[in-house]
Amino acid sequence: MITQRPKGTQDWYGKDMYRRAVIEAEAKKLCRAYNIKEISTPVFEHTVLFSRGVGETTDVVQKEMYTFTDKGNRSITLKPEGTAGAIRAYLENSLYAESQPTKLFYFTQAFRYENPQSGRLREHHQFGVEFVGSKSPLVEAELITLLTKFIERIGLKDVKLHINSIGCKNCRKIYNEALLSYLKQHEQCLCGTCKERMQKNPLRVLDCKVPGCKEIVKDAPRTIEYLDEECLAHFEELKELLTGLNIPYEVDTGIVRGLDYYTKTVFEFVDSNGFTLCGGGRYDGLVHEIDEKQDIPSVGFGMGIERILYFLDKEGVELSPEEPVKLYVGILGKEARERAFKIVTKLRDAGVSVETDYMDRSVKAQMKYANKIGAQNTVIIGADELDKNTVFVKHMESGEQTEVALDQLEEFFL
């Protein structure tokens, strides 16, 4: 081999590819029930979309983006998350001119240059939903309900909803002043990055993973203590809605999320060890940040497929098994190939899962292969079967054999 896959990437095949397909199919089914339409956006965008939309003070923009200059001397970035691209598409294609709200979902690759860890790779895959056009906390409640149902359907148990409110730009200004005042008292003990953050965006310090900084912010002022009347009413209504829907939650004032575009509601689904399955919230200022002519509220979430698989493995959850091969058609001799392939093709056209021999194996080797792939039934077609117009269908599990006219084999399985 001349090379191997890059660090932090994964080849998808076999069981994991099947599990990923099951997860995506379940998510699509739920989105259809919620009347959420699918969208697909480019895997790369102009860098300014993320530096402005995601936020220049975030770790994503400062440390983790895959950015390069293309042949037209344009700064291009592989998308690190799905929201900014979806909102850019919403604006560029004038979806705001259609009946509102606009509800979009997507599956997308995302790229972040960071140390690979359990459930997160440098190239990973996200399931995301964006709900654009409404200020109502009903929207947050709907997305949380969808996520709760999705988590239930894939069989996860050790997951709990944590919610917080980080306020709007009005109450955030007052909060930032209080937080900055607190942080200045501990500035000498902060890491270098947080010393910069506290001047540009103090809220980012609360999201630092350095142990010393985490210890300091334990006693820092909390956003929820500085909410204005509107933000507080919004948060209280959301809690009432969740209670009415019998969705348990915990108010976690430590949640601020890692991206600058969040306002008001932020939420995460976490396990008993505090490991995050997915997160999201409201970002009423993102549309305006991308297009100053527009000011449209939005809510959304992102959920990593690799993270879902990690949670499933951790809990030992098995997804529904793949549909088995219904029939293996063995071929004995060249003279039987044409007839056998016609039968195989007709059954496949009717939606029956059928496999056959392409390797010129012996009958014994073919039966061994049929057993290995888990075929439910087998049949051998050779010169004798052609002459007699009769085959024996063998049920692999019971060993029972049924005599069937060759020209009626297709009808037998339809």
Are residues 310 and 370 both part of a single domain?
no
Residue 164 lies in a domain: yes
Give the per-residue pLDDT at 212.
Answer: 85
Phi-psi region of 119 (alpha: psi -120 to 50; beta: other; left: phi over 0): left
Are residues 269 and 249 both part of a single domain?
yes
Give the per-residue pLDDT at 233.
Answer: 97
- Domain that includes residue 294, residue range: 14-168+228-315
Mean pLDDT over 79-94 rounds to 96
Mean pLDDT over 39-61 rounds to 84
Distance CA 402, CA 414 (A): 16
Give the per-residue pLDDT at 59.
Answer: 67
Give the per-residue pLDDT at 9.
Answer: 93
Number of domains observed in the structure of the chain:
2
Question: 373 pLDDT exceeds 90?
Answer: yes
Please give the C-alpha separations between residue 265 and each of 6, 200, 256, 268, 279, in angstroms, as whole numbers: 37, 22, 9, 10, 11
Give the per-residue pLDDT at 329.
Answer: 97
Are residues 46 and 121 both part of a single domain?
yes
Final residue belonging to a domain, choices 294, 315, 336: 315
pLDDT > 70 fraction of the chain, expressed in percent and rounded: 98
pTM reported for the whole predicted model: 0.90
Angle at 269 between CA 138 and CA 150, to 5 degrees: 70
Residue 209 lies in a domain: no
Residue 185 lies in a domain: no
Give the per-residue pLDDT at 258.
Answer: 63
Final residue belonging to a domain, choices 256, 290, 315: 315
- Within 10 Å of residue 231's Cβ, how many Cβ atoms? 22
CATH number at residue 120: 3.30.930.10
Give the per-residue pLDDT at 397.
Answer: 94
Distance CA 327, CA 85 (A): 45
Please give the C-alpha separations between residue 103 and each of 32, 115, 136, 357, in angstroms, as whole numbers: 11, 33, 14, 47
pLDDT digits (tens, 9 = 90+) for 262-276: 889 999 999 999 899
Residue 201 lies in a domain: no
Residue 377 lies in a domain: yes
Are residues 155 and 292 both part of a single domain?
yes
pLDDT digits (tens, 9 = 90+) for 328-338: 999 999 889 99
Joined tokens for residue 211: 């142990």
8 close to 122: Cβ distance less than 8 angstroms: yes
Q: What is the mean pLDDT of the chain?
A: 92
Q: How far from chain centre, in Å, is Cα 30?
A: 13
Give the per-residue pLDDT at 337.
Answer: 94
Give the per-residue pLDDT at 241.
Answer: 98
126: closest CA among 68, 168, 156, 82? 82
Selected residue with higher pLDDT from 127 and 117: 127
Question: 57 pLDDT exceeds 70?
Answer: no
Q: What burial class does residue 388 get, using C-beta atoms within 10 Å of its C-beta: 0-12 exposed, 13-18 middle, 19+ buried?
A: exposed
pLDDT > 90 fraction of the chain, expressed in percent and rounded: 76
Please give the C-alpha separations between residue 95 and each of 13, 179, 324, 336, in angstroms, as whole numbers: 36, 38, 43, 58
State the pLDDT confidence band at 322, using cuts at 50, 70 and 90: very high
CATH number at residue 347: 3.40.50.800
Distance CA 241, CA 200 (A): 35
Final residue belonging to a domain, choices 282, 315, 348: 315
Are residues 308 and 336 both part of a single domain?
no
Are residues 24 and 133 both part of a single domain?
yes
DSSP 274-335: --EEEEEEE-TTHHHHH-TT----EEEEEEEHHHHHHHHHHHT--PPPPPPP-EEEEE-SGG
pLDDT digits (tens, 9 = 90+) for 124-175: 999 999 999 999 999 999 999 999 999 999 999 999 999 999 999 888 889 8
Residue 215 lies in a domain: no
Residue 302 lies in a domain: yes
Give the per-residue pLDDT at 56.
Answer: 66
Are residues 128 and 244 both part of a single domain?
yes
Angle at which helices 169-184 and 192-200 cross, to 10°: 140
Residue 287 lies in a domain: yes
**Given the DSSP bridges, would you call strands 298-304 and 102-111 parallel, antiparallel or unpaired?**
unpaired
Are residues 303 and 264 both part of a single domain?
yes
State the pLDDT confidence band at 114, using cuts at 50, 70 and 90: confident
Run of H or E including 365: helix 363-372
Are residues 343 and 406 both part of a single domain?
yes
Q: Which of 161-170, 190-199, 236-245, 281-290 has the lowest mean pLDDT?
A: 190-199
83: closest CA among 219, 224, 230, 262? 262
Mean pLDDT over 392-405 rounds to 96
Q: Give the dihedral of Cα atoms 367, 371, 376, 379; nearest 10 deg.
A: 0
Are residues 133 and 47 both part of a single domain?
yes
283 close to 262: Cβ distance less than 8 angstroms: yes
Distance CA 353, CA 374 (A): 12
Are residues 248 and 116 both part of a single domain?
yes
Are residues 147 and 244 both part of a single domain?
yes
Give the per-residue pLDDT at 190.
Answer: 86
223 close to 206: Cβ distance less than 8 angstroms: no
SS3 374: coil
Cis peptide before 101 (omega within 30 of 0): yes
